Amino acid sequence: MKKLINATLVGAAMTLATVSGASAKDIRLKMGSTFPSGLVQLGTLGKQLETNINAMSGGSIQIKMFEPGALVPALELFDAIKSGAVDSGWSAPGYWQGKEPAVTLFTTVPFGPSAGEYLGWMYYGGGEEMMQEIYARHNIHVNICGIIAPEASGWFREPIESTADLKGLKMRFFGLGAKVMQKLGVDTQLLAAADIYPALERGAIDATEFSMPAIDLKLGFYQIAKHYYFPGWHQQSTFLEFMVGMDKWNAMDDQQQAIIENACKANVAMGLAEGEAIQAKALKELVANGVTLHRWSDDDLAVFEEKWNEVAEEQAAANEDFARVWASLQAYRDEYKLWAEYGYLK
């Protein structure tokens, strides 16, 4: 009998060891954000990430999203994660281009690929690996964690007959596209979402781009500027990211890391789907509110693209990482062209 009991005890102990080994250390993550949690796609995808990680981990990871500014000012998120002051963050890589110019290529590229082609490079063409390498220098683990639909080119008070009309305008503009606009004589400023409407209203800026129709609609720009231009040549698709301090990341077991990586990929699928599903409705609502939709002419787009090529060369000349990442993306896109030519209905 004693033998039997001992055997049972040993068996029970072994089972316990196995079970508690599996769900080892619970992880708590405060997640800062550069986007308000309620903002369509940009914020709601962050909330979805929080929901899914918590649901899948059954409490082994407890992640909580905080509004921009609640932990640290929105644009200090990167540095706060780097220093360990904040555990994790929800953002878009382009916000850190002042620190690492190459990361803008992991967010969006003027005249760049749309979602499918871009995802191919990111996951199977070396994109995410280069991104992780650059972030790792700053003690941050990063995953691509969402993608949103194309942006619009912007809101103008008066119709723009050609790119020559842009000269002298004061316009809010983001990222590498802003450098293109500067070459066309535009005085660009980068304003956060909440500051755009008042600046437009009081005439501090003449025009603005911000995001896609469903998001721009919420921000109410159409109440002031009635001319809405497409396509968003500067931002045909935009990646979002989830950052975790490297020490926090390394403290997680394989299961916890797998949950985060898969939650991010699920977010990519849902972001793409939602972005496609909600724009037409928003466009209709804008038109019902007196907005005129315009498409740039082919000539206008050729001008933007020519200036963009100049900007890309300048950026590559100025920064080694930019040059390396840009070369990788270009090589991928050159090869992809053959598939684009044959694979798709036009």
- Does the protein bind a second copy through residue 266 (CB under 8 A)? yes
**Binding to a second copy in span 225-254, by CB under 8 A:** 230-233, 236, 254
- Does the protein bind a second copy through residue 309 (CB under 8 A)? no
3-state secondary structure of 41: coil
How many residues touch a second copy under the rule CB under 8 A: the total is 77
Known binder of ligand: residue 209?
Answer: yes
Structure tokens, 187: 């005085």
Known binder of ligand: residue 274?
Answer: no
**Binding to a second copy in span 186-225, by CB under 8 A:** 212-213
Known binder of ligand: residue 117?
Answer: no
Q: Which one, of 243, 247, 225, lies nearest residue 292 by Cα?
A: 225
| Closer Cβ to a second copy, 124 or 164, answer by number | 124
Contact 157, 306 (CB under 8 A): no
Known binder of ligand: residue 235?
Answer: yes
Contact 255, 23 (CB under 8 A): yes
| Closer Cβ to a second copy, 178 or 286, answer by number | 286
Q: How far is CA 11 from CA 1, 5, 59, 197, 326, in A?
A: 15, 10, 27, 67, 57
Q: How far is the CB of 41 from a second copy (least distance, A)?
A: 11
**Binding to a second copy in span 140-169, by CB under 8 A:** 149-150, 152
**Binding to a second copy in span 60-99, by CB under 8 A:** none
Q: Which residues does 332 contact at the CB level (< 8 Å), separation at least 6? A: 120, 121, 125
DSSP string covering 42-85, please?
TTHHHHHHHHHHHHHHTTSEEEEE--TTTSS-GGGHHHHHHHTS
**Binding to a second copy in span 96-125, by CB under 8 A:** 111, 114-117, 119-125
Known binder of ligand: residue 137?
Answer: no
Question: Which residues make up each annotated binding site for Na(+)?
Answer: 210
